[in-house]
Chains A and B, each alone.
Chain A
Amino acid sequence: MYNYPDNSGHFGPYGGIYVAETLMGALEELNQAYEKYRHDPEFIAELNYDLKHFVGRPSPIYHAKRWSQQLGGAQIYLKREDLNHTGAHKVNNTVGQALLARRMGKPRVIAETGAGQHGVATATVAARYGMECVVYMGSEDVQRQAQNVYRMKLLGATVVPVESGSKTLKDALNEAMRDWVTNIENTFYIIGTVAGPHPYPMMVRDFNAIVGRECLVQMPELAGRQPDAVVACVGGGSNAMGVFYSYIDMPGVKLIGVEAGGHGIASGQHAAPLTTNSAVGVLHGNRTYLMQDENGQIIETHSISAGLDYPGVGPEHSWLKDSGRAEYVAINDDEALRAFHDLCRLEGIIPALESSHALAHAAKIAPHMGKDKVLLVNLSGRGDKDMATVARASGIQF
């Protein structure tokens, strides 16, 4: 049976705890708290209550019949994480971590955000539980995602624009780490993806694993069986780990992670460290595949989707790649946009640009599969936040 990470937080050679000594105490404290509460019936009951009544779980699975028919092959089913409160899977994790923070007596939470989805999900739970909330966001992203910035402010959070480095997600993460080390006594750092030092990759996966657990029950109900393949987009990789995790021990189910191909792998402007076999390195507390130059400096990435625009990837995905359990591919900006428009018009669902990468790959492989085959796509978020980006790509100005 699959049983990762090991006690020291490693997924094979990946993961670990690569942080300055100044953070080790806080990570030990977090690790102990998580081990104490993850199986605690009261904690689980409170978490489940909020996932049901605040988040709106379980999210349904939907059979995209018209789209499947048009593609002419496998039947495509969508796990509707876009229907969650705040519009994405991210809130599964922020509810869990905020409840943990409360038990640890931390009145202040901080977060990093790229597109703003994790920032909004964190600001939301901070308001719900009466916590102070500070969100770090690259100044480039603050400009690109003005609506989400305002949303966070409405929810009572302070949004701090980060001016260092490339002024995007990775720099926001650096700045959140700096805040954490300075305010360690009263602050809980809610990391939004399955990256960072142990126990974050495991903990964020566990809080998102409800997605896959629901699918295990829902797929037989709706499709009569489990899927032949599960497809999910991968930036850091939290929605993918959430839906993959329950299927890892079912060898008949293929797992496919879809990275951002940006302007195309050949252009060099992408965010696909797994697909391109980037060198392994150490960033943000863990060892993983990492986009970097020959001097080990982290390079700037590109994707039309801000949520996938990250040079690393969660260490568990690196391990699933090496072990052969999951397969990783890349979808370019234009392919993702095409899937975005198809889903809008054929199914009446506006998907997030991140999730559109997973949809685009499903659209690529479905026609080559029999009509009796079943694909499950994690529709990780809704696309309302992407209106401006999609309009711009279509040459439309508001």
Chain B
Amino acid sequence: MSRIQATFDKLKQHKRKALIPFFTAGDPAPALTVQLLHALVEAGADIIELGVPFSDPMADGPTIQRSSERALKHEVGLHHVLDMVAEFRRSNIGTPIVLMGYGNPIEAMGWERFAMRCAQAGVDGVLTVDFPPEESHEAFGHLQRHGIDPIFLLAPTTSDERIAKVAKQARGYVYYVSLKGVTGAGHLDLGEIERKIPQLRKHITLPIGVGFGIRDAATALAVAKLCDGVVVGSRIVQEIENSTEQNVIANVSKLVKELRSAVDKA
């Protein structure tokens, strides 16, 4: 059984919802990434989405764009990110890590080699923002041969037909983007999520995580009630941006603990 499935199974047994924080590898500094991963786990993260920096993050708002730029200033490439996950795995064998980013850095490495290195490093899932199912068959075939789950996005504008298409290819969990816009936008529409989730459930048997626009304990709780997992990205990246290298671990831990206790009330 994959680590992602095991995690959701265990959460279900305890009637809890998953907390899935995101941050960009290499931000604020490459030396802090593995420490941040461990700190997130200690603060209550169930799964971590680790961003792979890219020069042209088209689907991201300004907060995550800036984090990508900070990481690229440290010349953090896909190789480094995989090394960081391998280092994390030396002292954590339970928490799933999902790499999230854009396709081109993987294209440059080659999908077969990437999939192999993911398996060696202990990566559990890969979410490639700009690879919809139509363009993913070959690439994601490599992932699955190495036991890596391809994670797909679904959106408010996704039709029934497309939901069914994604359902066939998705593994691990699916990530429902809760608003029309880029990451970090501020207008979360809970009613829309409440209407959409049953439509997704008609086709999707995997757990459903919801993200984009979750900014605090209150929104995390409200969203957690509607789905299986809550993804928090820009808010955490903002905390990293506003911290110093000295207090970033403490600040992010505090934030994730707040989110954890909110999600546990769902």
Q: Which residues of A contact B (CB under 8 A)?
A: 8, 16-22, 24-26, 28, 164-165, 170-171, 174, 177-178, 181-185, 279-285, 290, 292, 294-298
Q: Which residues of B contact A (CB under 8 A)?
A: 54-59, 61-62, 65, 69, 72, 77-79, 102-109, 129-132, 134-135, 152-155, 157-159, 162, 166, 177, 180-182, 185
A181-B59, A295-B105 known; A25 vs B130 contact (CB < 8 Å): no
Tell me how many residue pairs across A and B have CB atoms closer than 8 Å. 125
B174, closest chain A residue (CB): A21
Q: How far is the CB of B158 from chain A (nearest CB, A)?
A: 6
* Contacting pair A22 B177 (CB below 8 A): yes
* Contacting pair B58 A177 (CB below 8 A): yes
Choice from A24, A170, A181, A292 contacting B162 with Cβ under 8 Å: A24
* Contacting pair B56 A25 (CB below 8 A): no
* Contacting pair B180 A282 (CB below 8 A): no
Report Cα–Cα, A182/B105, bound state, in Å. Answer: 26
Q: How far is the CB of B230 from chain A (nearest CB, A)?
A: 19
A298, closest chain B residue (CB): B55
* Contacting pair A297 B158 (CB below 8 A): no
Of A24, A28, A295, the most chain B CB neighbours within 10 A belong to A295
* Contacting pair A281 B107 (CB below 8 A): yes
Report Cα–Cα, A19/B177, bound state, in Å. Answer: 14
Q: How far is the CB of B131 from chain A (nearest CB, A)?
A: 6
* Contacting pair B78 A20 (CB below 8 A): no
* Contacting pair B72 A297 (CB below 8 A): yes
* Contacting pair A16 B104 (CB below 8 A): no
B153, closest chain A residue (CB): A21
* Contacting pair B180 A21 (CB below 8 A): no
Of B57, B69, B152, B182, the most chain A CB neighbours within 10 A belong to B182
* Contacting pair B56 A298 (CB below 8 A): yes
A18-B131, A295-B77 known; A282 vs B55 contact (CB < 8 Å): no
* Contacting pair A178 B182 (CB below 8 A): yes
Chain B residues whose CB sits within 8 angstroms of the CB of A20 once the complex forms: 58-59, 129-130, 132, 153, 155, 177
B152, closest chain A residue (CB): A21
* Contacting pair B107 A21 (CB below 8 A): no
Q: How far is the CB of A12 from chain B (nearest CB, A)?
A: 14
Report Cα–Cα, A182/B59, bound state, in Å. Answer: 10
Chain B residues whose CB sits within 8 angstroms of the CB of A297 once the complex forms: 54-55, 72, 77, 104-105
A170, closest chain B residue (CB): B56
Report Cα–Cα, A295/B80, bound state, in Å. Answer: 10
Choice from B54, B134, B155, B185 contacting A17 with Cβ under 8 Å: B134
* Contacting pair B132 A8 (CB below 8 A): no
Chain B residues whose CB sits within 8 angstroms of the CB of A185 once the complex forms: 180
* Contacting pair B182 A282 (CB below 8 A): no
Chain B residues whose CB sits within 8 angstroms of the CB of A279 once the complex forms: 108
Choice from A22, A282, A292 contacting B155 with Cβ under 8 Å: A22
Chain B residues whose CB sits within 8 angstroms of the CB of A280 once the complex forms: 107
Q: How far is the CB of A204 from chain B (nearest CB, A)?
A: 19
* Contacting pair B130 A182 (CB below 8 A): no
Report Cα–Cα, A28/B158, bound state, in Å. Answer: 10
* Contacting pair A178 B61 (CB below 8 A): yes
A164-B65, A292-B108 known; A178 vs B155 contact (CB < 8 Å): no
Report 8 cross-chain contacts, Cβ distance below 8 Å, ordered by A residue.
Answer: A21-B132, A21-B177, A22-B157, A24-B162, A182-B181, A183-B180, A295-B79, A297-B77
Report Cα–Cα, A29/B57, bound state, in Å. Answer: 24
Report Cα–Cα, A290/B180, bound state, in Å. Answer: 29
A174-B58, A295-B105 known; A25 vs B185 contact (CB < 8 Å): no
Which 5 A-B pairs rank lowest in CB-CB distance, beginning with the nearest? A296-B108, A25-B157, A295-B77, A296-B105, A182-B181
Report Cα–Cα, A19/B59, bound state, in Å. Answer: 8
Choice from A184, A285, A295 contacting B130 with Cβ under 8 Å: A285
B175, closest chain A residue (CB): A21
Of A19, A22, A165, A290, the most chain B CB neighbours within 10 A belong to A22
Report Cα–Cα, A104/B107, bound state, in Å. Answer: 35
* Contacts A8-B134, A298-B55 known; 9 new A-B pairs at CB < 8 A: A20-B59, A20-B132, A25-B162, A26-B157, A164-B65, A165-B65, A294-B108, A295-B105, A297-B77
Report Cα–Cα, A184/B185, bound state, in Å. Answer: 15
Report Cα–Cα, A3/B123, bound state, in Å. Answer: 42
Choice from A21, A26, A165, A177 contacting B55 with Cβ under 8 Å: A165
Report Cα–Cα, A279/B69, bound state, in Å. Answer: 23
A185, closest chain B residue (CB): B180
A174-B56, A178-B182, A184-B180 known; A24 vs B104 contact (CB < 8 Å): no
Q: How far is the CB of A56 from chain B (nearest CB, A)?
A: 36
B109, closest chain A residue (CB): A296
Report Cα–Cα, A115/B159, bound state, in Å. Answer: 38
A165-B56, A182-B182, A284-B58 known; A19 vs B104 contact (CB < 8 Å): no
